Copies of this chain bind each other. A is one copy, B any other.
Amino acid sequence: MPIDEHLARTKRRDAALNSERLMQAAREVFARQGLSATLEDIAQHAGVGVGTVYRNFASKREIIETLYDAALDSVLADVQTALEIQDPWVAIVTFFEVTASNQAQDRGLCETFLGHDGFGPDERIAEELVAVVSPLFDRASEAGVLREGVTVTDIGPIFAMLDGVYRMSDARPDLWRRYLALILDGLRAGDRPALPVPALDVAAFKTALTAAD
């Protein structure tokens, strides 16, 4: 009973094109302006009217979820890539650089990760993030290349810090590299004093990443 297939097959070609354009426009507009961009902005960027947006998506929220579910997966994949790097320290550095680079180019992605989207808590992100990144940190810890007391949950505040830098300098899109370098130097094992207060525990990490704004 290929009813759906039949309907899909008869979708007009121009409609399909607009659908593509809209996805792309949403990606670009949310990346540049963040999730508070209006559907009007997106429609205009795609060269269509708002009505057309609603022919393709049920709501703004649906657009965002469609867009950033995929994005989340891609970040998780980046972590896997970093894990394949032999040197545990280089793997850590690579993980931060790749992820930060993605986020620097996509304000909507940042908001999704830091829970600054207008939606309720999404524990899934925090949960998966810890699960996937942990091995990276564990390995570095065991190899003795991580500073005493540094843990996975430090990635939350670190990405929050980098977010502050992205937003500060449209004119210098790579400024974050300077401060990430600073932070990474601080994370590396060496002859240093202990850090003054402990990192978040995993429960607090989840809360912190899902606290509404």
Contact = CB atoms under 8 A, between A and B. Distances in A.
A186 interface: yes
Interface stretch (A65-73, A78-86, A138-146, A189-197): A189-197
B165 A157 contact: yes
B197 A175 contact: yes
B199 A168 contact: no
A22 interface: no
Interface size class of A (residues with CB under 8 A): 35 or more
Contacts of A196: 177-178, 181
B182 A200 contact: no
Interface string A168-190: 11111011011101110111000
A200 B169 contact: yes
A211 B161 contact: no
A164 B209 CA distance: 12
B186 A183 contact: yes
A169 B208 contact: yes
A178 B197 contact: yes
Interface of A: 114, 156-158, 160-165, 167-172, 174-175, 177-179, 181-183, 185-187, 192-193, 195-200, 204, 207-209, 211, 213
